[in-house]
Amino acid sequence: MRDLVASFPSQLSESLDIAKDAKLFETDANFQNVLITGLGGSGIGGTIVSELVANQAKFPVFVNKNYSIPAWVGKNTLVIVSSYSGNTEETLEAIGHAQNAGATIACVTSGGQVEAKAKSENLNHILLPGGNPPRSMVAYSLVQVLRLLNHFGITNFGFEKEVERSIELLDSKSEDIQNQALEIANKINGKFPAIYACAGYEGVAIRFRQQLNENSKILCWHHVIPEMNHNELVGWQEDEFLNVLPIFLRNADDYSRNQARVEINKEVILKRTPEVLEIHSEGESKLQRTLYLVHLVDWVSIFLGEKRGVDLNDISAINHLKSKLSEL
């Protein structure tokens, strides 16, 4: 897992090559909305992309993480299926519902039943390198979802240049990122992280939470500003949070009123816990800042898992769940 995280910049580069070489065909559908369906490590790329394109996509882009799909999905919907293994049961069922609704379907996968269905039914699809844990392949799914949105005219996002600039940034900051990640992991060790991000960067907060869950084997939670100011902030009223470490993900383009909220939140929270941690992104664009944070928090999860002496690759609890479901 350490090697896979270290290879994130090179994965982004390979992802651009895959996107460029993808053989996609046109459709005469009159799209009015987009649904990206996928879960866990397969789905987080779509979650992040939905925020990246929110302010310039021609139509609403939604994410779906369930067996079912919304009732509004129909012939004018583009459904992007993201399943790294190609065998995610929730996603496979969602594909069936999307087909019944008459939606246009495009798939991002490394194989499995999704690849077989895409080939047998002549669906647009992009194949990824296989054989790795889905959570370590976010570079591939994220870039291919961007490619599909551009291909179908949902966006006109020059993501290729932005990804290239992101690779340059990550390569130039490689040592700094790892040093910072190690410091953060040392602070988190033995604590219960509460991860906060401003609206527009929730996908990164979710990524951080998921990686701490799967790689570091700890529980944590996340919330978003300003929404948490209308509920969760009131929960910081007890003197029982000494073991909770609030972590704020900060970005230069966070809305000014939300940046002010962060400062006030810190004042409130510091009355109940001894320390607040801030993680600042780097980069000149939202995509660069997003990929910087993704790479940084992935390293945090690696270092924390190593400090805790856990098996970074172990997902036996998830495998047990899948085994039990297969018996039903």
Catalytic residues: 214, 230, 322
Which amino acid is present at 162?
E
229's CB contacts (< 8 A; 6+ apart) are: 261, 265
Element (H, E) at 321: helix 316-326
Alpha-carbon distance of 274 to 243, in angstroms, equals 9
Alpha-carbon distance of 124 to 209, in angstroms, equals 32
Alpha-carbon distance of 163 to 232, in angstroms, equals 35
How does DSSP assign 187-203, residue by residue?
HHTTSEEEEEEETT-HH
Interaxial angle between packed helices 40-52 and 286-308, expressed in degrees from 0 to 180 and rounded to the nearest 10: 150
62, burial (CB in 10 Å: exposed 0-12, middle 13-18, buried 19+): middle
CA angle 194, 209, 251 (to 5 degrees): 75
CB 198 within 8 A of CB 255: yes
For residue 135, the 8-state DSSP code is: G
CB 52 within 8 A of CB 287: yes
In sequence order, which ranges of 194-273 are alpha helices (DSSP H)? 202-214, 232-235, 256-269
Closest CA to 248 of 210, 288, 208: 208
